Amino acid sequence: MAAPGAAGGGRSGAPAAEWGGFEDNMQGGGSAVIDMENMDDTSGSSFEDMGEMHQRMKEEEEEEEAEGEAGAGEEEDGEFLGMKGLRGQLGRQVADQMWQVGKRQASRAFSLYANIDILRPYFDVEPVQVRARLLESMIPVKMINFPQKIAGELYGPLMLVFTLVAILLHGMKTSDTIIREGTLMGTAIGTCFGYWLGVSSFMYFLAYLCNAQITMVQMLSLLGYGLFGHCITLFVTYNIHFHSLFYIFWLVVGGLSTLRMVAVLVSRTVGHTQRLILCGTLAALHMLFLLYLHFAYHKVVEGILDTLEGPNVPPFQRVARDIPVVSNTVLNTTAKAIALTL
Amino acid sequence: MAAAEGSGAGGTLFPGLADVSISQDIPVEGEITVPVGSHSPDEDFSTLDEPVKDTIMRDLKAVGKKFVHVMYPRKSSTLLRDWDLWGPLVLCVSLALMLQGGSADSKDDGGPQFAEVFVIIWFGAVVITLNSKLLGGTISFFQSLCVLGYCVMPLTVAMLVCRLVLLAGAGTVSFIIRLIVVGAMFAWSTLASTAFLADSQPPNRKALVVYPIFLFYFVISWMILTFTPQ
């Protein structure tokens, strides 16, 4: 008795190690089961085994948690579950399996399409590069016989569009613009992004028709940097309200940035007609946009309003008609000249 | 005899099987696979049992700690590590409520509506986060949202102050006071969020990340400054 006991005691280390090793094997076996679960193998028997294993694991977790209380009750519950029928378990397995498959497919689709890494190369810039490009956008190039390089970068244009939105908001607020449908912020964002994306797409389409060598990202980038002139002009003229100042800025600053865009486009297009079409459209749209931004959201000169209406001014739709005296006389003389010739 | 010996030796030979008893009328059942990873969060099970007050107080304390971090922006990783969006939600809702459009006429739109402010704040934060991720940042999406949201707090305080000042009157003096207060809070917000966010960027691109944050808080400050109650 004693000898087997002592031998048993001496051997207790080894069997414990054996059992420990066995446990390791079981853990390895357990992970092998889990690996199978992750595979796409849905053959009939392994499916049920997997599901059942999964189910049992969940049940065992619940048992572990509640092991302090009512152990007999737990056992009864466990037995009851077993007796509730395979239907309940099968249903759970099927639902579980469907969930796993669905989740896997959704995550695969998500990682494929919603990957922002697609846009990453367009944001790979340094601050010095951005600054250099901002300054370059105001300098027209001389060489139009050689295709000019356009950096396909989206950080600068995006920031410029947001800056334009901020400046527009400031302008709209100081001019007490009253928007009936929509909100101030929505209007500003819609105007600026609509211009940037819409005119870029339109110019890209025209460029495709006119056989110009430019890609969509380059067009977006070019037009975006062209908004730098708009930002400067609007920033200055929303705060200093002189019409002559605005016209000077419009011609000089707006003109310079338009000239640069036009020159770059011309350098990438062959054929006179095509060049004319592209550049004319771009110049017209760009300059007219600046005019629109100024006059649509400009602060009304109070003198004109007061003389016209008096202090009880009903709310206007958009404070837009701000015709300065100069263009008024121009209009009148033009009308008279036309009337005379007819 | 063998059974007695077996059970006697079971205590020393097979310690794990000491409490296994096989009786004749119950069929052998049991689990021979060891569930892997079932010792996952014991705390989950224990937080289910604690009283609701404890859970709420713990979350409130975390939110309060983050507010303190924003007030004194030292470089610490607590805000980043345990992000939560409760604080930004509360701040955003209170700011949007206070900025509720002051328009006497129901037909025009004198000021921003609740939905507008809400959308601006969250959309702006999402854009800034995407931008910083695209520029090569190491911060995660929700961490960045959390920081930007919490740093709206100085501007909410500025809004409160502006409303109180406007109660007193709406003249040039009040405008100057409001301008100073909003300007100071705007600078504080920008510095606080820069302190947390700029470190996750490569060092030569910090300016590229700071500019959109500057613009974002500028727009919010502008909305606060131009607010006129009717």
**Would you call A30 and B211 a contact, using CB atoms and an 8 Å cutoff?**
no
User: Two tokens at A328?
Assistant: 């008024």
Contact status of A67 with chain B (Cβ, < 8 Å): no
**What is the average pLDDT across B20-46?**
61
| CB within 8 Å of A150: residues ≥ 6 apart | A214, A218, A221, A222, A264
Note down pLDDT in tens along chain A; length 342 residues.
444 444 444 444 444 444 444 444 444 444 445 455 455 544 445 555 665 666 777 776 666 655 544 444 444 444 445 555 677 888 899 999 999 998 888 888 777 666 777 888 888 888 899 999 999 999 888 888 888 888 888 999 999 999 999 888 887 776 666 655 456 777 888 889 999 999 999 999 999 999 988 999 999 999 999 999 999 999 998 888 788 888 999 999 999 999 999 999 999 999 999 999 999 999 999 999 999 988 876 654 444 444 555 555 455 556 556 666 665 666 677 667 666 666
> Looking at the partner chain, which of B38, B107, B222 has a beta carbon nearest the beta carbon of A60?
B38
Residue A307 Cα distances to A48, A165, A297, A312, A319, angstroms: 88, 33, 21, 12, 16
Min mean pLDDT across A49-58, B129-138, B196-205 is at A49-58
Contacts of B140 in chain A (CB under 8 A): none
**Would you call A12 and B36 a contact, using CB atoms and an 8 Å cutoff?**
no
Q: pLDDT per residue over B138-163, tens digit each?
A: 888 888 888 899 999 999 999 999 98
Q: What's the pLDDT at A27?
A: 45
- Which of A54, A110, A162, A228 has the most B C-beta neighbours within 10 Å, making it the best mutation to test the interface with B? A162
| Of the candidates A81, A87, A96, A83, the residue with the CA atom closest to the CA atom of residue A50 | A96
- CA of A272 to nearest chain B CA: how many angstroms apart? 40
Q: Is the pLDDT of residue B94 over 70?
A: yes
Q: What's the pLDDT at A316?
A: 54
Q: What's the pLDDT at A46?
A: 52
- CA of B225 to nearest chain A CA: how many angstroms apart? 11
Confidence class for position B36, pLDDT limits 50, 70, 90: low
**What is the average pLDDT across B80-96?**
87
Q: What's the pLDDT at A199?
A: 95
Contacts of A127 in chain B (CB under 8 A): 204-205, 207-208
Segment 27-56 of chain A within 8 Å of chain B by CB = 27, 29-31, 33-34, 53, 56
Q: Is the ipTM of this complex over 0.90?
A: no
Contacts of B130 in chain A (CB under 8 A): 116
- CA of B101 to nearest chain A CA: how many angstroms apart? 11
Q: What's the pLDDT at A168?
A: 87
Q: What angle do the packed helices B172-197 and B153-168 form, to 10 degrees?
A: 170
| CB within 8 Å of A211: residues ≥ 6 apart | A269, A270, A271, A274
User: CB–CB of A271/A211 below 8 Å?
Assistant: yes
Cβ-Cβ contacts under 8 Å between A and B: the total is 107
| Of the candidates A30, A77, A29, A20, the residue with the CA atom closest to the CA atom of residue A57 | A30
> Looking at the partner chain, which of A120, A182, A315 has a beta carbon nearest the beta carbon of B105?
A315
Q: What's the pLDDT at A219?
A: 94
User: CB–CB of B229/B164 below 8 Å?
Assistant: no
**Would you call A183 and B5 a contact, using CB atoms and an 8 Å cutoff?**
no
Select the more confidently predicted residue: B217 or B107.
B217
Q: What's the pLDDT at A327?
A: 58
Q: What's the pLDDT at B2?
A: 47
Segment 145-184 of chain A within 8 Å of chain B by CB = 155, 158-159, 162-163, 166, 169-170, 173, 178-180, 182-184
User: Two tokens at A239?
Assistant: 């705060």
Q: What's the pLDDT at B212?
A: 92
